[in-house]
Amino acid sequence: MDTTRPAPIAQLPQVTEPRNPGMALDLDWLRAVQANTSAIERRAATLPGRRSVKKDYQAAWLLKAVSCIDLTTLSGDDTANRVRRLCAKARQPVRADLLAALGVGGLTVGAVCVYHDMIAPAVAALEGSGLPVAAVSTGFPAGLSPFPLRVAEIGESVKAGAGEIDIVISRRHVLEGDWQALYDEMKTFREACGDAHVKAILATGELGTLRNVARASLVCMMAGADFIKTSTGKEAVNATLPVSLVMIRAIRDYHERTGFRVGYKPAGGISKAKDSLTYLALIKEELGDRWLQPDLFRFGASSLLGDIERQLEHHVTGAYSATYRHAIG
């Protein structure tokens, strides 16, 4: 990773990226896509083994990671009070004394991600912060409810105030190679979202091969996805570096061909500060600095923030604190 320190959070430029409008389904491009699994795994294996950034530079990169978190609660026992606590943490993700010691102000996470029923308390708790509420939709996590209900669910979440919609694709379309069906489904979801940005969850742990991951990534972008996302967090295998490399290179290819930037969101299993640094390094090396902004990169995480705050406290004080002192809500 380049050890250049990122710009202070409060000084980051507010860049408005034109939305990806999508394009016609290009089956010739799709059929040409291959994935060399052994080469992908070798490249991915080099990332965690490198010497990481240290001291002030590490702190700066960890603050960058915080700004790109979709702080998430997706549990069956979610309550309005839990969501309000989570939103308070989203608005002030790191203790004020630590931020003061680091000379940083204006730090928030990227968004708060909840189920549909929790949108209203989240929107109310985030009022005035500028933070969007992201809602999982379309029969999350399996995506097997009737199609009209999945489309209607998107509309209800947008109406309730969600600014971002995380949809799940039908995995069977990928496994059967029915790319037209996947394209049509994704295009309908994008249209139902209206002005709300749509993140397409591929559930990569259930797609069988890295070639399928690459092709599904391209189809979703062709159909107008604003982000592509690895996982629901509910699969047996969630975000991995090889999968991330495949999806990121699909994003790069799509940008080179169309000129539109699509965001990337790894989700599930990213819980340690050192892992967030590895993912940021991958993004910087493969896509460049522009993708290191929360409008184009997010971590889907619930426990990652606590470990990052713990590492930042160690940087400021020289001592590690107990994990329970950094609860996310």
User: What CATH code is carried by the domain that includes residue 244?
Assistant: 3.20.20.70
Backbone angles phi, psi at 113, to 5 degrees: -115, 125
Name the catalytic one among 64, 229, 284, 295: 229
* Other CB atoms within 10 A of residue 211 CB: 15
Query: 124-138, pLDDT tens digit by residue?
Result: 999 999 999 999 999
Query: Does some domain include residue 15?
Result: no
Report the greatest alpha carbon distance in the chain. 57
Residue 73: the pLDDT is: 96
Active site residue 265: yes
Between CA 208 and CA 276 the distance in angstroms is 25
Q: Is the predicted pLDDT of residue 171 greater than 60, yes or no? A: yes
Q: Is residue 44 part of a domain?
A: yes
Q: Summarize the confidence of residues 223-246 as an average pLDDT.
A: 96
Domain membership of residue 10 (yes or no) is: no
Q: What is the pLDDT of residue 11?
A: 39
Burial 37-52 (b: 16+ CB within 10 A, else e): eeebeebbeebeeeee
CA 235/CA 53 separation, integer angstroms: 31
Concerning whether 272 is annotated as a catalytic residue, the answer is no
Supply the pLDDT for residue 241.
96
Residue 155 placed within a domain: yes
Is position 302 within any domain? Answer: yes
E-assigned strand segments in the chain: 69-72, 111-114, 133-136, 164-168, 197-201, 227-229, 263-265, 299-301
- Please give the Cα distance from 229 to 138 (Å, whole number): 15
Please provide the average confidence, as pLDDT, over all residues in the chain: 93
Within the chain, how many helices (H) and strands (E) appear? 13, 8
pLDDT digits (tens, 9 = 90+) for 243-271: 999 999 999 999 999 999 999 999 998 99
229 is catalytic: yes
Amino acid 288 reads G
Residues 24-45, mean pLDDT to the nearest whole number? 96
Rounded Cα distance between 204 and 199, Å, is 14
- Bridge partners, 200 (sequence order): 167, 228
How far is the CA of 242 from the CAs of 38, 161, 204, 230, 288, in angstroms? Answer: 10, 35, 11, 11, 18
Domain-embedded: residue 264: yes
7, part of any domain: no
pLDDT above 70 (res 329):
no
Domain extent at residue 52: 21-317
How many independent structural domains does the chain possess?
1
* Residue 326 pLDDT greater than 90, yes or no: no
So what's the pLDDT on residue 328? 64
One-letter identity of residue 232: T
Task: Kindly name the residue from 265, 275, 295, 307 that is annotated as catalytic.
Answer: 265
Whether the pLDDT of residue 2 is over 80: the answer is no
Residue 327 domain-assigned? no
Q: What is the pLDDT of residue 147?
A: 98
Phi then psi dihedrals of residue 255, to 5 deg:
-65, -40
User: Contact 252/286 with Cβ under 8 angstroms?
Assistant: yes
SS3 231: coil
**Better-predicted residue by pLDDT, 214 or 50:** 214
Say if residue 18's pLDDT is above 90: yes
Average pLDDT on 75-104 reads 96
DSSP E strand boundaries for 86-217: 111-114, 133-136, 164-168, 197-201
Residue 88 main-chain phi, psi, to 5 deg? -60, -40
pLDDT of 280-291, one tens digit each?
999 999 999 999
Choose the catalytic residue: 70, 166, 275, 307: 166
